[in-house]
Amino acid sequence: MALRTIRVEGDRVLTKNAREVKEVTEKERELIRDMFDTMHEAEGVGLAAPQVGILKKIVVIEVEENEPIVLINPVITETEGSQTGSEGCLSVPGKVGTVTRPMKVVCEAVDENMAPIRVEGEGLLARCICHEVDHLSGHLYTEIVEGPLQDVEDLEEDGEE
């Protein structure tokens, strides 16, 4: 298990466009394993390569336990409906904000073997796909947040009352 450092808001790498992956070598496979390890350690549900300082179009997601998703060169090709809810980010630690995203998305990408895949997501998975794909274009959810960001600690305290 290799943990990578998660870059946080203010780090310039998070504002840059990631590059398309032309082939998956052992280096990319190791990156993908490390990204899953890092995401699990940080208790996240998604992580994009730029968040660990690598400007490649690679995303890992696991919103359902033991159902990992790897998206290489992902493109959202369809969206439907909308959902508004709380969203956080491992690169914006301790904060959450209200964001509106599509309720359903279709994402086309390739897997670790460069085979084409199509992932259809609804609800949390749709939100996560959109969030992670945004990272590949240098965008954070804070750019589209509705209203002020809130401290996670404040929300936890509100829930205890």
pLDDT given at position 155: 72
Domain ranges across the chain = 12-160
Contact, 75 vs 107, CB < 8 A? yes
pTM: 0.94
Q: What tokens does 42 get? A: 């940080």
Nearest to 69 by CA among 78, 58, 80: 58
Give me the residues paired with residue 85 across strands. Answer: 99
pLDDT given at position 48: 98
The answer for residues whose C-beta is within 8 angstroms of residue 11's C-beta and 6 or more apart is: 53, 91
Give me the residues paired with residue 70 across strands. Answer: 60
Pick the CATH number of 12-160 from 3.40.50.720, 3.90.45.10, 3.40.50.2300, 3.40.980.10: 3.90.45.10
Task: Label each residue of the chain as H, E or C.
Answer: CCCCCCCCCCCHHHHCCCECCCCCCHHHHHHHHHHHHHHHHCCCCEEEHHHHCCCECEEEECCCCCCCEEEEEEEEEEEECCEEEEEEECCEEEEEEEEEECCEEEEEEECCCCCEEEEEEECHHHHHHHHHHHHHCCCCHHHCCEEEEEEHHHHHHHHHC
pLDDT in tens, the chain (161 residues): 699 999 999 999 999 999 999 999 999 999 999 999 999 999 999 999 999 999 999 999 999 999 999 999 999 999 999 999 999 999 999 999 999 999 999 999 999 999 999 999 999 999 999 999 999 999 999 999 999 999 988 776 655 43
| Residues belonging to the active site | 132
